[in-house]
Amino acid sequence: MQYNKVTPEFIAQLEKIVPGKVHTGSDINEDFYRDEMPIYGSNPPEVVVDGTTTEDIAAIAKLCYENNIPIIPRGAGTGLTGASVAIHGGVMIDMQKMNKILEYDEDNFVVRVQPGVLLHDLAEDALGRGLLYPPDPGEKFATLGGNVSTNAGGMRAVKYGCTRDYVRAMTVVLPTGEIIKLGATVSKTSTGYSLLNLMIGSEGTLGIITELTLKVIPAPKETISLIIPYENLDDCIATVPLLMKNRLNPQAVEFMEREIVLASERFIGRETFPKQIGGVEVGAYLLVTFDGDDFDQLNDLVEKAAEVVLEEGAIDVLVADSPAKKRDAWAARSSFLEAIEAETKWLDECDVVVPVTKIAEYLKYVKSTEERYCFKIKSFGHAGDGNLHIYACGDDTVDEATFKKDVEVFMKDIYAKAAEMGGLISGEHGIGHGKMDYLADFSGAAQMRLMEGIKHVFDPKMILNPGKICYKVQ
C-alpha cells in the first residue's frame, strides 16, 4: 500500500474545514510522536488537527480518503502498545479538545460525553451526583474515547467488568467520511451483528468515535481496603479464588511483589506497606477493596476475608479504613509503572491474561526464564481477573538492539506459555503496533483472515490508523 504525502494544497483544504486548528512542523508537540511505550516506535504525524465536531471530522476523513492519506485518532497518548503512533505519517486527529460532559439521563443511568473527556473528570463529576462510572484503569488521565478504543480494564474489573460493559451507544465517523450511530440508551439488544462491540477495542482502526453514551450506576456509599502481606507469591495468589468462593465479592484484588512495592515507595517517597512482620520477611501482597452501602456489613466482609486469608497463609491483615490510609495504599499501587520507568533504561511489557488459578504457576515460569536474558523481569497485576503486567527492564549496560532481540524471544516464549495455560495475549492494553506479530502467531490464519476482512469492509483504502492490530502495510 502506498500512501500519498501531505501537500501544501491539502493543508489549505484542511484549513478551510477547521480554520486555525491545523498544526504542522515545529508547531506539533513531540508528545504526538509516541505513546507511553516508546520502544514500539516514534514518528511525527505530518499534520495534527484539533478535533472539533463530528461533521468536521467527517469532512477531514473524506478528504483523507479522497487523497489516500492516513488518518489517526489520538486520545491522551497514554496507550502502551504504540497504537496511536502515526507510523506511516498522515493526519492525526487530536480528540482531547472534544472534552465536554454533555448530559446525564439519571432515570436511565447513562451519561452522554464527547470522547476527549478524561476518565478522571467523568469519574469525579459522576461521584458528585452519587453515581459511579465503574471502569477504573490505572491511568486516570486517559480519554474515554481511548478507553473505549482499547476496551480498558483496570482495578474494578473483577466486580464490575471492563469498559465494554459500560458502552451503550456511540457516534462514529468512518474512514470514508460517513457518520453512523451505533447502539442506543437501552440495556438489551439482539439487533443484528453488534457493530458497537466491534468498535470497542478496535484501537482506532475501524472508525473515529466522536460521541459516547456510557452507563453509570449508583455509587456505593462506603469502601474499605485491606493490605494483606504474605511470605511468598504462591501463598498470596492461592487465596484469591477463596475470596470469590466465599462470596466476598471484592471490588478490586491486586497482587504485588515486594520488589515492585519497594520501587514504588522509593518513587513516591512514602512507606505504606509492611516489610517484616513478627520476624517474617514479606515477599508479596494483596491489596483488596470491598464496597457497599452499609459500614457494618463491610466490616463483616472484612472479618470474614481476614479469617479466610489468615487460615490460608497470610501473615497479617492491615485495614485501610480512613480516606488517608486508602489513598496511601492505592497511591503506591498507582505508581508502579512510573516507578519502573524511573529506574529503567529500556522497557517493554506484556499484558497477558491467564485463568486466576494459573497466575502463580505462570509467574513462576516467567521468573525462571530471567537468567536467559539481558534484563530483569518485574510483575504486578490484577489478581482478581488474572490480568498480569510483566515488564522486561534493561539497564544501561545493555544496548537497544540486544535488548530488543532478547525481548522478542522472551515475549514469544511467555505468550506461548500463556496460550498453553488457557490465556490470551492482552487483557486490557490491546495489540496496537507492538504486539501484532504475537497476535498473528496466537490467533492463527483463519482468525487473522476474518480480522483483515473486517478491517477492509470498514476501511476500503486502509487509511485509518494503518499498521495496527491485523493490518501490516507492505
Ligand X SMILES: Cc1cc2nc3c(=O)[nH]c(=O)nc-3n(C[C@H](O)[C@H](O)[C@H](O)COP(=O)(O)OP(=O)(O)OC[C@H]3O[C@@H](n4cnc5c(N)ncnc54)[C@H](O)[C@@H]3O)c2cc1C
From candidates 149, 213, 239, 379, binder to ligand X by CB under 6 A: 149
Q: Which is nearer to ligand X, 145 or 394 (CB)?
A: 145
Interface region with ligand X, contact rule CB under 6 A, candidates 13-21, 137-145, 415-423, 446-454: 137-145
- Does 264 help bind ligand X (rule: CB under 6 A)? no
Q: Verify binding: residue 117, ligand X, rule CB under 6 A.
A: no
Q: Does 250 bind ligand X (CB under 6 A)?
A: no
**Helices H / strands E in the chain, number of each:** 15, 20
> CB 97 → ligand X: shortest distance, Å?
11
Q: By CB under 6 A, name the one of 6, 22, 35, 406 that touches ligand X.
A: 35
DSSP 30: G
Q: With binding defined as CB under 6 A, does residue 75 bind ligand X?
A: yes
Nearer to ligand X, 229 or 430 (CB): 430
Of the candidate residues 46, 59, 69, 77, the single one contacting ligand X (CB under 6 A)? 77
- Candidates 134, 137, 229, 467; binder of ligand X (CB under 6 A) is 137
Q: Give the ranges where 165-294 is alpha helix by DSSP (H).
A: 195-199, 233-238, 240-245, 258-268
Give which of 222, 74, 96 is closest to 149, Cα–Cα. 74
Based on CB atoms, which residue is closest to ligand X, 86 or 315?
A: 86
Could you write out the DSSP letters of every residue in 430-473?
--TTTTHHHHHHHHHHHHHHHHHHHHHHH-TT--BS-SSTT---
Angle, helix 359-368 to helix 400-420, in steps of 10 degrees? 150
Residue with cell 484549513: 15
- Taking CB under 6 A as the criterion, the residue among 79, 134, 229, 386 binding ligand X is 79
Q: Which stretch binds ligand X (CB under 6 A): 18-26, 123-131, 148-156, 316-324?
A: 148-156
Q: Tell me the CA distances in angstroms from 89 to 5, 71, 175, 444, 463, one per residue in order.
A: 8, 8, 16, 29, 11
d(C-alpha 8, C-alpha 14), whole Å: 10
- Candidate list 67, 213, 426, 465; residue touching ligand X; CB under 6 A: 465
Count of chain residues binding ligand X (CB under 6 A): 36
With binding defined as CB under 6 A, does residue 433 bind ligand X? no
Q: Is 36 in the site for ligand X (CB under 6 A)?
A: yes
Q: What mask of x and - would describe binding to ligand X in positions 204 to 233, judged by CB under 6 A? A: x---xx------------------------
Contacts for 118-126: CB closer than 8 Å, 24+ residues apart: 118/76, 118/142, 118/143, 118/144, 119/143, 119/144, 119/147, 122/214, 125/101, 126/216, 126/219
Q: Please select the residue that binds ligand X; options are 21, 34, 74, 112, rule is CB under 6 A.
A: 74
340-360 burial: b if 16+ Cβ within 10 Å, else e: bbeebebbbbbbbbbebebbb
* Positions in the binding site for ligand X (CB under 6 A): 35-36, 72-80, 83-84, 95, 115, 137-139, 142-143, 145-147, 149-150, 152-154, 203-204, 208-209, 337, 428-429, 465
